A and B are shown apart, each in its own frame.
Chain A
Amino acid sequence: MSSEQARMKFYCDNNRCIECYGCSVACAEAHELPVGISRRKVITLYEGIEGKEVSTSIACMHCSDAPCAQVCPVNCFYIREDGIVLHDKEKCIGCGYCLYACPFGAPQFPRDGAFGTKGAMDKCTMCAGGPEETNSEKERHLYGHNRIAEGKVPICAAVCGTNALLVGDAEEISAIYRKRVSSKGQGA
């Protein structure tokens, strides 16, 4: 893997996700999010329907061609060299366009603006904080814990009980998943 081309990605292996909410709760806890804001969500499709039910964990997917960044009228998004899509809450005007653009429903708007209106957008930072000084009080307050700067894995993937949620360089992740698929039935 060459670090220049490294692009950080999330991948949730649906064969592994059991809807335990570990990722979502750990995320809320780590970043001290207001209740009702879930940067990471666990969803289940076809719940209870035999043979069809599938669970997965979703958050900001840190898209390469991030549509949120394309539509933002104030250009508050920036994409780090490693591909993590972040935004500047002090630039954000809470218009909601990124939510309309996002295929995953990732951007959320806590109702902390004037007159209880929706305030600056909040979303998964892949535990990489924001534009403020790294690990500063302000960064923590606005964007939550910057684990990446501390050399740690994002909290959601770190706590995943079944190793369903993977995070890291896109190539490494696909290698892990490829191994999981290709080694099927190779044990025992």
Chain B
Amino acid sequence: MKKIIFSIITPLILASAAYAADSQIWGEMILSNIKAYGEVSSFSLGPLFVLLQSAYFSKIFLVVVLAVPTVFLLHYLIIGPKVFSHDGDKIYVFSLFQRIIHLIAAVAFLILIPTGLMIIFGKYLGGGSLVLGARYLHGVATLMFIVSVIPMFLFWLIEMLPTLDDIKWVFILGGYLSKEIKEIPAGKFNAGQKMWFWVASLGGVVMIATGAAMYLQDFNYNIAASFGLSQIDFLRASALIHNVLAVLITAFFFTHAYMSLFAIKGAIHSIITGYKENDEVKYLHSSFYKKLKKQGQI
């Protein structure tokens, strides 16, 4: 019997791709969409989505946006920032192209994260045009992010590959729990930056894909089918992944911002001017510093 159902449904799905203008979510596909909801043999994505979206996602986000800054505030107060002399030599680390691309990405994130949060907490903003505007802005900022994510991924890819230093860095948490300034094992990018890179780039691509799916809603139905999902289940999966990843990315984004703005005094200048303080590189990126020295670039 299953076979018959599928032999009916599959050609219908295939045929329906021809009618992109006329959504099949409520057309021929409605059967599979309804059946996909909570049926034993299905993935039960519907009930899972309802459970998480109604009770957990917004709470988790609330925790993230409150707890992460609180932790950093405590860190700032108790351990305090790392301060390096800004009068010494500077090392040129970021090209103009890299800085422009990073700037685009930075602006995109500065729009994506608040507008995303506005959607999540839309009920406290009363919904309507304000949140709807946020939703549209979220989409526009995505276009900026798409522009920046590919070059960024390519020009930093090699330097972001994991090394032995990263394991050591993780064990001492980058030395941020200590006031003492000593040489921290790290290449041009430390393990924290690398984590952020991978989450932001690969995760970012997934965010783009899942976001686009939700934004478009109707698109080539074969895509969902190739995952063995009905169109709505595909959208449900997209929403779940988008939200979970968003928690991670938001947390990392806050960390990234804290590090560059507060934890390492003036660190942000490197992505504006392209130059990093000699000492900063020497201590926080000791392996990189040694390599540069060996190559005689300092």
Point out residues on A near B: beta carbons under 8 Å: 36-38, 41, 43, 45-47, 49, 58, 67, 70-76, 88, 90-97, 99-105, 108-109, 114, 117-118
Measured between alpha carbons, how far is A43 from B30 in the docked complex, in Å?
A: 8
Count how many pairs of residues, one from A and one from B, have CB atoms less than 8 Å apart in the complex.
106
Q: Give the residue name and chain of the B residue nearest to A119 (CB).
A: B132
Q: B294 an interface residue at 8 Å Cβ cutoff?
A: no
Q: Report which of B4, B22, B30, B131 forms a contact with A36, defined as CB distance below 8 A.
A: B22
**Interface class of chain B by DSSP:** helix
Q: Give the residue name and chain of the A residue nearest to B125 (CB).
A: A74
Q: Report which of B34, B50, B235 forms a contact with A96, defined as CB distance below 8 A.
A: B235
Which residues of A have CB within 8 Å of B5?
Answer: 46
Measured between alpha carbons, how far is A90 from B128 in the docked complex, in Å?
A: 5
Measured between alpha carbons, how far is A118 from B58 in the docked complex, in Å?
A: 24
Measured between alpha carbons, how far is A100 from B237 in the docked complex, in Å?
A: 9
Q: Give the residue name and chain of the A residue nearest to B30 (CB).
A: A105
Known contacts A43-B31, A96-B235, A109-B217: A71-B22 contact under CB 8 Å: no
Residues A100 and B46 in contact, CB atoms below 8 Å apart: yes
Residues B132 and A93 in contact, CB atoms below 8 Å apart: yes
Instruction: Beyond the given A102-B46, A103-B37, please list 10 additional residue pairs across the A-B interface where CB-CB is below 8 A.
Output: A67-B50, A74-B123, A74-B125, A74-B131, A75-B127, A96-B214, A103-B38, A105-B25, A105-B34, A109-B217
**Contact pattern, B 13-30, Cβ under 8 Å of A = 1, otherwise 0:** 000000001110110001
Which residues of B have CB within 8 Å of A117?
Answer: 215
Interface size on B, residues (CB 8 A): 41
Residues B127 and A91 in contact, CB atoms below 8 Å apart: yes
Measured between alpha carbons, how far is A71 from B46 in the docked complex, in Å?
A: 11
Q: Give the residue name and chain of the B residue nearest to A48 (CB).
A: B8
Measured between alpha carbons, how far is A94 from B129 in the docked complex, in Å?
A: 11
Residues A95 and B135 in contact, CB atoms below 8 Å apart: yes
Measured between alpha carbons, how far is A104 from B34 in the docked complex, in Å?
A: 5
Residues B136 and A114 in contact, CB atoms below 8 Å apart: yes
Q: Give the residue name and chain of the A residue nearest to B237 (CB).
A: A100
Measured between alpha carbons, how far is A49 from B7 in the docked complex, in Å?
A: 13
Could you list 17 A-B pairs, sorted by A, with CB under 8 Å?
A38-B26, A47-B8, A67-B54, A70-B50, A71-B49, A73-B58, A73-B122, A94-B135, A96-B214, A97-B49, A100-B46, A100-B49, A102-B37, A104-B37, A105-B33, A108-B23, A108-B26
